[in-house]
Amino acid sequence: MILRTTNSSPFGRKPMMAARYLGLMDRIKVEPADPLDPNDVLRRDNPLGKMPVLILDDGRSIFDSRVILEHFDHLAGGNRIIPSDWDQRMDVLTLQALADGMSDAGILIVYEGRHRPEDKHHEPWLAYQRGKIERALASLAANLPDPTRITAGTIALSAALGYLDWRKQVDWRQTTPALVPWLETFRKTSPIYDETAA
């Protein structure tokens, strides 16, 4: 399989962490992707021009990161990072959706700064995106997931927090200190977080 991705994206980092945790790296060739390059084959493999994208051995392309994590869990025998128990599955997938929403909002903040002239930055739009992140962080602090349990949800959350650490869209370590020891415990539980740092 070919995984087109980059660890600088929280969505690109998720399948790299999952593949390492599930012992699938020997079955995957990782190739860099640049969604901003119109000549990158990424746009051929995913019409949305987004990463990550996984090219299966039969030539099919699957995306986005949530689908790739589902496929990796299946390849590893199932019930590894996505529980088969329905209630637990819903909890893990909801956590993944919340973390992915934080990453989405964080990327939109970065893109506003990167792709629009400074005099065109729209502060209400930026505040709206920061609000999504801040509400998600508060919700997580009130109901912390188990940091020693590696799931699609905790992988997504660690990737989102790592992205916020890197790009500084919000100062989550100051505003939500309960998540600081959570991330440190997650890092100690498995080396996949540090192995996939950008």
pLDDT for the residue 58: 97
Domains of the chain, earliest start first:
2-75 (3.40.30.10), 86-195 (1.20.1050.10)
Tell me the pairing of strands 61-62 and 29-32: unpaired
pLDDT tens for 84-128 read: 999 999 999 999 999 999 999 999 999 888 878 888 888 999 999
Closest CA to 154 of 92, 112, 67: 92
| Percent of all residues in the chain with a pLDDT value above 70, rounded to a whole number | 100
- pLDDT value of position 99: 98
Is a pLDDT exceeding 90 seen at residue 133? yes
Q: What is the pLDDT of residues 149-161, one digit of tens each?
A: 999 999 999 999 9
pLDDT at position 118 is 84
The mean pLDDT of the chain is 96
Polymer length in residues for the chain: 198
Distance separating alpha carbons of residues 46 and 44, to the nearest angstrom: 6
Cβ pair 82, 92 in contact under 8 A: yes
User: Quick check: 43 and 61 in contact, CB under 8 A?
Assistant: no
Structure tokens at 193: 């977080």
pTM of the model: 0.96
Residue 119: enclosing H or E segment and its boundaries? none
